[in-house]
């Protein structure tokens, strides 16, 4: 396998778009949470916005599960040759942690929203969200380093190849 399959690419970029949506536009869930926390009744628009955030999270969970299943059954392209082993270990670590977070974020969000478990909400909105931002930064930096510094085809495998 020299490149990711079309399905793998579609799943990757779909998850990326949905994650970006929920990370950059969490206001609906935040407004709903503030109202409920202060004993106020959310308006239908608040509930709809919170539901959109939750449903996008559920879609992320489903797509990541499918993506991981395909990764396990179909494999992925090999790491580029001629690079320090630490680079390959870091890439594996970042990918593994991203998968873990992309499962933990929706699950903790569902526990908070649907079950009212406050500690899950705190974990979701503070700890896991911060970790996800950091790992996304590392993932993008790694892809750009592969393309511009190491001159490998890693970035092209998930885009145009």
- Give CA–CA dist 48/53, Å, rounded: 9
For residue 159, which of 141, 147, 142, 145 has the smallest C-alpha distance?
147
For the stretch 131-157, pLDDT in tens is: 999 999 999 999 999 999 999 999 999
Model confidence pTM above 0.85:
yes
How confident is the model over 68-93, as a mean pLDDT? 95
The pLDDT score that the predictor gives to residue 51 is: 97
Spatial CB neighbours of 91, under 8 Å, sequence gap ≥ 6:
79, 142
């Amino acid at each position: 396998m020299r490149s990711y399959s079309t399905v793998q690419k579609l799943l990757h970029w779909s998850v990326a778009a949905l994650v970006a949506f929920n990370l950059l536009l969490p206001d609906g869930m935040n407004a709903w949470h503030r109202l409920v926390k202060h004993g106020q009744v959310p308006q239908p628009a608040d509930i709809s916005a919170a539901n959109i955030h939750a449903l996008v999270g559920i879609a992320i969970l489903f797509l990541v599960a499918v993506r991981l299943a395909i990764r396990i059954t179909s494999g992925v392209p090999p790491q580029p040759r001629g690079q320090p082993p630490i680079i390959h270990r870091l890439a594996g670590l970042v990918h593994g942690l991203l998968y873990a977070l992309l499962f933990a974020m929706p699950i903790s969000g569902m526990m908070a929203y649907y079950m009212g478990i406050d500690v899950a909400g705190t974990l979701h909105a503070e700890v896991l969200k911060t970790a996800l931002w950091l790992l996304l930064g590392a993932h993008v930096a790694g892809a750009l380093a592969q393309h511009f510094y190491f001159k490998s085809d890693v970035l092209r495998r998930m885009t145009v190849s």
